Structures are given as C-alpha cells and as structure tokens.
Amino acid sequence: MTITLQAVNELIASLESAGELSIREQKFLKLAKAYQQLAAENVVRHEFVKICFRAAADGASLDGADIQEIGERLGLFGRETYQPVLHGYICGHEAGEDSVYVMKSAPATDRIYAEAEARGVEKLIEHLVNNGYDSVANGVKAYMQLREGS
C-alpha cells in the first residue's frame, strides 16, 4: 500500500481536529507526524543533491564554499565558532576565531537509525542467550555471524 504525503497531512488534520483520541489513534498520529518530519528532511536533502547535479550537468564546478553556502541556505549546515574539543583539530584554524560548517541534526532520520541500532543490539542479545554464549569472545563471534546474515 502506498500512501502519499497529502494523505498523511489529511490524516493528521483529521486526527488533530477529532478531539479526544484513543490510544490507537494517538499512535497513528505520532507515526504520521514522524513520517511527515522524515519526508521534510528528505525533501531538503533531495533538493541539495538536485542543485549539485544541475550544476554538474551545466558544466559548472562547485567548490567547498559553494557547497557550504547551498547547504546553509537549505538548512542542512550551520556555522559554529571553531572549537577543537567539539570539532576535532583542523589544521590552519584558530580556536574561537574561525567558523566551521557542521551538519545540522535530522531528528526523524536519527530516530530511525537509533531504532535500527537498538534492534541490532536486541537481536545480538537474543542470539547470545539462545545459543549459550558466555564470553566476550563468543559475543564478538556471534556479532560477526549476525553481521554476515547467518
């Protein structure tokens, strides 16, 4: 089943105007809002890639400053005052004087990634318990087996 972003927006509007929601409806609303946020994050990334591809197709070249400007305009990057403790050592930059570009967080994408990691850890624990692994070395062996899909 395919659902469009417009259908998700209509579902959100409908649920928000419905008044008191059941637990099931609250879960649907939460999921729909997460979907909406993820779609918005992906639109921005897609636009960034389109701009870069368009420039390449037109024979233009983009240097680092161009890419940073595009990313900042789209809200993907932000400027911060350079601090080696936060940003790592960057040759030629002075702490507290220079600014650096950093990727802004993408909460919906980060949540999906964190959930996937958590599922992986759960699967590893389940595998360890079910197969009688009792040491770190055996845990690493189980991890490698899971990583290979066995």
Residues 43 and 80 in one domain: no
Residues 54 and 11 in one domain: yes
Residues 147 and 124 in one domain: yes
Using alpha carbons, list the distances in angstroms from residue 129 to 64, 115, 126: 49, 21, 5
Residues 98 and 109 in one domain: no
Record the tokens describing residue 130, joined without a space: 């079910």
Residues 150 and 127 in one domain: yes
Residues 127 and 96 in one domain: no
> pLDDT tens digit string along 135-148?
777 777 776 776 66
Residues 57 and 15 in one domain: yes
Whole-number Å distance between alpha carbons of 77 and 101: 6
pLDDT of residue 73: 87
Residues 112 and 98 in one domain: no
- Contact between 127 and 141 under an 8 Å Cβ cutoff? The reply is no
Average pLDDT over residues 4-9: 80
> pLDDT tens digit string along 61-109?
888 888 888 888 888 888 888 888 777 777 777 777 777 778 788 888 8
Helix (H) or strand (E) holding 38: helix 23-57
Residue 150 has pLDDT above 60, yes or no: no
| pTM of this structure | 0.52
Instruction: Tell me which residue range forms the domain holding 85.
Output: 63-69+76-104
pLDDT of residue 1: 64
- Contacts with 2 (C-beta within 8 Å, 6 or more apart), sequence order: none
Residues 5 and 31 in one domain: yes
Residues 91 and 113 in one domain: no
